[in-house]
Every structure is written in structure tokens, then in C-alpha cells.
């Protein structure tokens, strides 16, 4: 069983990943922490509470702060054209959701929960890396107590999606991502190299609506806006970025990984680019030296991953 804290910015593909974690029998979802990205942290937190309520999820929700790790970074607008004005595809999300929220800021919740279960907690982060970096700054020793960190973000041997160099989650807080990649804990990065190969078709989404009960129907409704956005990028359906990171936790054999230290470019035209120094290549001294070797996913069995995701989303439907 994997005890998981899900750090997320829901977000349409985040919503799918949340339902995957809720329904997968090998996952024990013990916390949901929110971060800004697809929308403001007010909106992503409201959305997390909304999905928790609609899907009957027990895990507590803790809200993140509303600033990047380096607070001087200028704010770039929210991607409403991808996730809708409400972050959930412009369905009818209520303004407020009447559910309690954990009193701690997200990064403190993460530290406390990891310390309560040393060596057992997997952190899955599918938004900006802000909360994880704040937790490392506040309590550097807690890193050694985390079982595994799995991130959706980055682009290694392919272009980014927000600039030719950078993927959105990393570009939104590059300093935080560099802290997370270089910390002494085991990180696996599930980036665009593999997520863009993992496209859920409209027919698959329709099947989830049909077989996944009320939860599947809501997920399919939320996803329509994202599918419309992806029409410019893929022939049919949507890229399921965040669910790929969750699939990795339960089925790492579906992924090909490359080991090596990872740095994030902070500033300049390649702001937010992720660059790995593969362990089997020799270079002169560089800023990649003497850092933990992390895993970058460079290939995926997309057909089996999509089947795992679809099968899980309809469990108990």
C-alpha cells in the first residue's frame, strides 16, 4: 500500500489524477495539498474541496501559500483557456464548498504528515513545486523521511509546452523546482517526454462517464473543456499529464527511466528548463556535480498506462 500526499492545482487533468488515487486499491490517500498554477490557490483549493465532497474522499485538504518560492517573480496570468475560468472546465462549481480545511499551510501539513509516518509517505506533486520547496526550506531533515517523490513536470528530450524550453509546472516556479530536484530524496520526474504520448481518446472518456458512476460522469463533464483545448495539439482526446505521475507510483514498470542529477534553469530565455546530466556520461566539472541522482522518465508504454488509468477510474463505479 502506498501512503500518498497529493500536491495539486485542480485543474482538469489534476481532477482525473485525484479520482485515480481515490479509486486505486494500492493507494492510501492521506492528504491533498493545494498550490496555485492552473488557477489561483483560492480557486484550486475550492476545487479540491468540491471534488472531495462530490467523490466522498476522506483525506484532509491543506491550502498552499499564494506566492512563488522567490516572491519577487512576476505573476503570469492563469491558463483559463486550458482549464476554464473556474479551473474545472467551466462546469457549475459552487462559489464556496462547506467543508473544513486543515488549519496548517500545505507545506507544514506535508512535513507533519511525513514525520508521523517516517519512511512511508510518497509525495505526488502535479502543480508548481512551491509547497515541496517550502517544506524543504522549513525542515531540511524531513527529506530523508520521505519514501519517494514523483513529479509531473519538466521536459528533457522534447520541447516544453509553455515555452520551447519549459513545461508549465516547472516554469511557474523554477527556483522551487531546482530545490526539489537537488534535495537528498529520491525524485522521479514524469514530464512531457512521456505524458504527451499518453492521450486519452474521446471514446475512452465516454466509457468512463458510462461505467464510472456519478464520479465518472462528473469527470467526463469537467474534461470536455480540456478536450476542446487539445484539439489544436492531438487528433482525438486529451493528454493525461497528472494521471501519468500517479500511474508511475503503482506501475513503474510501464516507464523507462534515465538516472542522473537534474537542474532547473532559473532566468533567461530558457527559464524553467529541466536538464539532466545522465550518470553514464562524462563531463568537465559543472553545476550538476555532487548532487543526488534522480530519475527522468524518457519513455512509456502509453497503451498499458491508459488502460490502467481507465480501468482504475471506473472501479466501484
Rounded to 5 degrees, φ, ψ at 295 are: -105, 130
User: Which of ligand BDR, Ca ion, none does 168 bind, CB closer than 5 to 8 A by kind?
Assistant: ligand BDR
CB of 229 to ligand BDR, least distance (A): 10
Contact 190, 248 (CB under 8 A): yes
Report the alpha-carbon distance of residue 145 to residue 114 in Å, rounded.
7
Q: Closest distance between Ca ion and the C-beta of residue 281, in Å?
A: 31
- Footprint on this chain of Ca ion (rule: CB under 5 A): 9, 11, 14, 126-127, 242
Nearer to Ca ion, 11 or 154 (CB): 11
- Alpha-carbon separation of residue 44 from 9, 40, 132, 209 (angstroms): 5, 6, 17, 23
* Residue 223 binds which of ligand BDR, Ca ion, none (CB < 5-8 A, kind-dependent): none
Q: How far is the CB of 166 from ligand BDR (least distance, A)?
A: 9
C-alpha cell at 97: 464548498
Residues in touch with ligand BDR (CB under 6 A): 11, 13-14, 38, 82, 126, 152, 161, 167-169, 241-242
Four-point Cα dihedral 129, 135, 141, 147, nearest 10: -50
* Among Ca ion, ligand BDR, none, partner that 45 touches (CB below 5 to 8 angstroms by kind): none
Nearest residue (beta carbon) to ligand BDR = 168
Active site residues: 241
The residues near 219 (Cβ < 8 Å, ≥ 6 apart) are 15, 16, 19, 208, 209, 212, 313
306 binds, among Ca ion, ligand BDR, none (CB under 5 to 8 A by kind): none
By beta-carbon proximity to ligand BDR, the closer residue of 196 and 261 is 196
Cβ 144 to ligand BDR, closest distance in Å?
Answer: 27
Choose among Ca ion, ligand BDR, none what residue 193 binds, the Cβ cut-off being 5 to 8 Å by kind. none
Transcribe 32-45 into DSSP letters.
EEE-SSSS-HHHHH
Residue closer to ligand BDR by CB (options 163, 293) is: 163
Query: Of the two residues 148 and 167, which places its CB atom closer to ligand BDR in the complex?
Result: 167
Strand order in the sheet with 294-300: 61-62, 27-34, 2-8, 121-125, 146-152, 187-190, 294-300, 255-264, 274-278
Nearer to ligand BDR, 126 or 215 (CB): 126
Report how far residue 199's alpha carbon sits from residue 211's, in angstroms, rounded to the nearest whole number.
Answer: 19
- Main-chain dihedrals φ then ψ at residue 4, nearest 5 degrees: -125, 135
Q: Which residue has the cell 456519478?
A: 214
In the complex, the smallest distance separating the C-beta of residue 102 from ligand BDR, rounded to whole angstroms, is 22
Amino acid at each position: 500500500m502506498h501512503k500518498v500526499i497529493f500536491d495539486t492545482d485542480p485543474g482538469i487533468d489534476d481532477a482525473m489524477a485525484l479520482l485515480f488515487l481515490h479509486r486505486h486499491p494500492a493507494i492510501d490517500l492521506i492528504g491533498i495539498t493545494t498550490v496555485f498554477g492552473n488557477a489561483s490557490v483560492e480557486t484550486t483549493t475550492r476545487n479540491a474541496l468540491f471534488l472531495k465532497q462530490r467523490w466522498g474522499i476522506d483525506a484532509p485538504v491543506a491550502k498552499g501559500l499564494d506566492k512563488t518560492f522567490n516572491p519577487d517573480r512576476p505573476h503570469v496570468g492563469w491558463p483559463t483557456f486550458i482549464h476554464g475560468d473556474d479551473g474545472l472546465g467551466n462546469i457549475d462549481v459552487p462559489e464556496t464548498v462547506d467543508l473544513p480545511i486543515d488549519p496548517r499551510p500545505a507545506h507544514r501539513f506535508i512535513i507533519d504528515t511525513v514525520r508521523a509516518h517516517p519512511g512511508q509517505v510518497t509525495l505526488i506533486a502535479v502543480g508548481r513545486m512551491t509547497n515541496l520547496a517550502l517544506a524543504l526550506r522549513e525542515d531540511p531533515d524531513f527529506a530523508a523521511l520521505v519514501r519517494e517523490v514523483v513529479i509531473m513536470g519538466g521536459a528533457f528530450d522534447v520541447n516544453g509546452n509553455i515555452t520551447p524550453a519549459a513545461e508549465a509546472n516547472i516554469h511557474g516556479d523554477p527556483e522551487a523546482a531546482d530545490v526539489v530536484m537537488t534535495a537528498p530524496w529520491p525524485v522521479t520526474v514524469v514530464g512531457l517526454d512521456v505524458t504527451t504520448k499518453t492521450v486519452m481518446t474521446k471514446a475512452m472518456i465516454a466509457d468512463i462517464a458510462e461505467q464510472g458512476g456519478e464520479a465518472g460522469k462528473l469527470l467526463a463533464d469537467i474534461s470536455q473543456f480540456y478536450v476542446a483545448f487539445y484539439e489544436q495539439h492531438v487528433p482525438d482526446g486529451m493528454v493525461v499529464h497528472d494521471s501519468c505521475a500517479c500511474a508511475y507510483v503503482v506501475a513503474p514498470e510501464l516507464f523507462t527511466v534515465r538516472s542522473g542529477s537534474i537542474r532547473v534553469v532559473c532566468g533567461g530565455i530558457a527559464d524553467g528548463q529541466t536538464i539532466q546530466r545522465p550518470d553514464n556520461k562524462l563531463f568537465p566539472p559543472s553545476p550538476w556535480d555532487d548532487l543526488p541522482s534522480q530519475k527522468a522518465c524518457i519513455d512509456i508504454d502509453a497503451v498499458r498506462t491508459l488502460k490502467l488509468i481507465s480501468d482504475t477510474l471506473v472501479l466501484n463505479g
